[in-house]
Structure 1
Amino acid sequence: MSWFTSSELLGIQGLPATDRGIRKLAKTKQWLYRKREGSRAFEYHIDCLPDVARDAVQTRMARQLLAQSAGADLTAVRSNFVKADAGSQKSKELIGLYRNCPALMDNRLRELTDDQKKIADARMMLVREVLRLMQEPVNGGLSMNRKQAVTHVALESRAGTLPQQVQKAADVANARKGSTRTGVGVSSLQRWFSDYDLAKTPGEKLAILAPGQVRPKKVEQYPWMGRFLQYWRNPNQPSVTMAYEAFAEDWRDEYAGNELMLAQLPLIDTVRYALNKIPKAERMRGRVAGSAWQSLMPFVRRDWSVIPVNGVWIGDGHGMKLEVLHPDTGKPFRPEITLIIDGRSRVVMGWSLAMSESQIAVGDAIRHAISNTDAG
């Protein structure tokens, strides 16, 4: 299921908490929508949702599927997968989505890495080789049909007997690591050919043939992290193992008898992996205090409220963001301005303008500041 109404999206992390809020967000962000069949409600495509919300929806769908299929007949489930042409149907839906919502394809193309583009180019080269065999007669006879051409290119790529440039493309098109893996399979090349034929523009071909990229999961996407931190953020500084044992024990006690929630209990290795994604200063919050906590901060925030007015002055020089004619040479240059600021009130007490940064420029700014203080 790829389409959801605003009421079905209620309670999803990363989205407004009301129907009206979701509809307003959808209008602002120009989500792809359609009218639900047999209803007056509008439904929105899952790919238009923010990343956090999309992951939450997919997680909820997976849980519902697990609950529904817990007692299902495995043979029936397997037969359903055999009947469905998942790859072809998914490609058609994706192409249709790109055509209805061009911003999604633009975003997809911007996010492609150089490696993904190289793999897509290699796959297109293999498809063009198949098309060449389908169009040109072989040994003075008839040209190959699609199945014969795909099978020929795939088998030749496995044997390493394709022309050098095409063989190199076959090795790149795999998108798999390992020196022993050469060539491509018949089914893979058949799928790439179908996708290439389905796409019409160069952008669509690149977007559909580029492989997916595994993105690291963000800390916010671990639903149990906030609860684990309650056991981790302890002044006694428990180890990950100790904090996890207390966290897991309470989890099992609370969800005793609920097989679905018990299955959501993360492994300790997953907890360690997710915990390392949190910045060190935030990870140590609640475990250390005082100077130990301050030492982890990227900068020291001073409390100027305890200092009297004119108790501390701050001076600095800057090259002005403009150019003027030099009085001696007549050429454009940037003069130096030096400011003296009161630390408590942030008032500019004095300033000076000079040809360049120098002791005289700083001294003149301080003189000006002192003269203003005396005048006050």
Structure 2
Amino acid sequence: MADGTQHDRWYTAADLAGLPGLPSSDRRIHSRAERESWQRRQRERGKGFEYSFSSLPPVTQAVLLLRDRPAPLAARRRNTLAPSEAHLRSVWQRYEAAKQSMKDMAAMRLQTLDTVASLVRGGTSLMDARQIVADQLQREGVRGGSAASIARWMQDVAQADRKDWLALLLPHYSGRTSTAEIEPEAWELFKADYLRQEQPTASSCYDRLERIAAARGWELPSLKTFTRRIIRELPRAVRVLAREGEEALAKTYPAQERDRSMLEALDGVNADGHRWDINVRFPDGSIGRPCILGWQDLGTGKLLAWRLGDNENSDMVRLSFGDMLRAYGVPGSVYLDNGRAFASKWMTGGTPNRYRFKIREEDPTGLITTLVGADNVHWVTPYHGQAKPIERMWRDFCDRIAKHPAFAGAYVGNSVANKPENYGSRVVEWAEFERVVTSEIHAHNARTGRQLKSCAGRSFDATFAASYARIIVRKVSDEQLRLLLLAAEAVKADPITGSVHLAGNRYWTEALSEHAGRKLVLRIDPWHLQGVAHVYALDGTYIAAAECTAAVGFADVNAAREHARGKKQYKRAAKDMLAAERLMDAASVAAQLPDMTPPDAVAAGVLAPVFGLHAKKPEPAPARATGSEGPSALDLLMFERAQRMKENQL
């Protein structure tokens, strides 16, 4: 193409082939030029001819004018350099934050440019390719899919890498950004009403605000404006905390996923208690829901030891922990529930917890602390089931044991609103309850197909056995097992004989004479208080085994505990009944009596005069010689006035 103005330019047949209004091959271009006598000249370089712009058809001239029109200086400057790294980071951040509909539109634009490029590679001119694709987009109902739009999209990605085209083609339309104005005080009132734990609906808050606005003379936008602003300006965490509380907020934070596959058997155990949803008749004849306290191996998921009872207490913790030590050995670390049964100083004395912030020197070292070590006793988050894997096992027990066919009719449901229709129709005997629970726990440990990483489809029993065979087990001696017996509060030996007393039972042996008047610790089987008690010094030194010499107390600690509980319940019941009958004291009654006021004056239906009260009745006049006595002048005046009043009333 020669230099000069547009009308002075010359084009070869190759330049013109395929343009609108012209043939698509060089040979046919030459034939048409010969037939229509186009103005031509010899090419300055090479063979052949060049044809003048003025000889071309009008449609071709228009295309050439649009195609060869020089771009604005700013546009040429924008496309000469590739987008900067900062700009690309910005557009990708904008792409990530965009809605899916906007991302779909960017993908459609990218596909459009790919189609145009394919047509051009196939021999179609760029402008024809744009028009062909634009026509197809319009037939498909794509909004804004014109040839000019395609040209702008190509301009947007010019000089950019192909991998960044998707973000660069994202539409710049941001939607509606203007919002109706809300009176600042009205907005604060709406927030104060809406962000309450009673969780009022937005519509009820808006209705109350409308009544206030009517009195204040405010103009309120629609309810939708308020709800959109709540969602836009208040993060979800703030809304959940204000309307549902801290516990609901904690649930919105993803739980930590912990990998236990690297733990071997007894590397760590976790313990917790669970109350069954079953009505059971205890050995003493009372009826209630029993508890289970268990120890689960962390690495393999097997339930190693458990005890059943009426309530979770330190005795169950001690005995179940002893069962685990006797059967398997000492664990490397323990993860305990924050209940008071585990926090007993006889179990975990020497380690701080939420009930024991200060450790005193005279406090005995707890059993678990002694065997495991203070650094290996861990307290899980209170009231947070996700912190203990054993909670997952309790959920299985709620389905597979609490709803066992042997307990049909005794299941009471896990909440007041979730009770079966046959609720309370049966009570399970304690012996039957123990038998079924023990059998089902063994079945739980033996069930195959476990999804735990360390199990890989095996049962908890098989996984634990394989790991147990590879580790070094720390077993406890008979002397250490004595620590698992009941630990009473430090008792003081008799200052003369050295004997000690527990729950009304007296224990003595000759070795206690050397400890007369000192504080000692007794450990004994909780189910046989009248047996042998093992006596220790406060520092844990074993003294001797003392026989029960005066079996005058209760049969066991549970009986003593039941008696104390019954007495406390009796006193509480009496106080509750008194409080129910006497809801007010005398001062409250006196305060309720209203002050008496004089009654209002009563209006008469008819008023009548009273004669003779306005003045002293005159003395009788002396007898006259002539005439007779008649009414006085005052009487006549009063009579006339009474007559007029009567006439007025009529």
Shorter-chain TM-score category? Answer: 0.3 to 0.5
- Pick the structure with more helix per residue: 1
What is the TM-score with the length of structure 1 in the denominator? 0.37
Q: Which has the higher contact order (CA 8 A, sep 6+)?
A: 1
How does the TM-score come out when normalised to structure 2?
A: 0.24
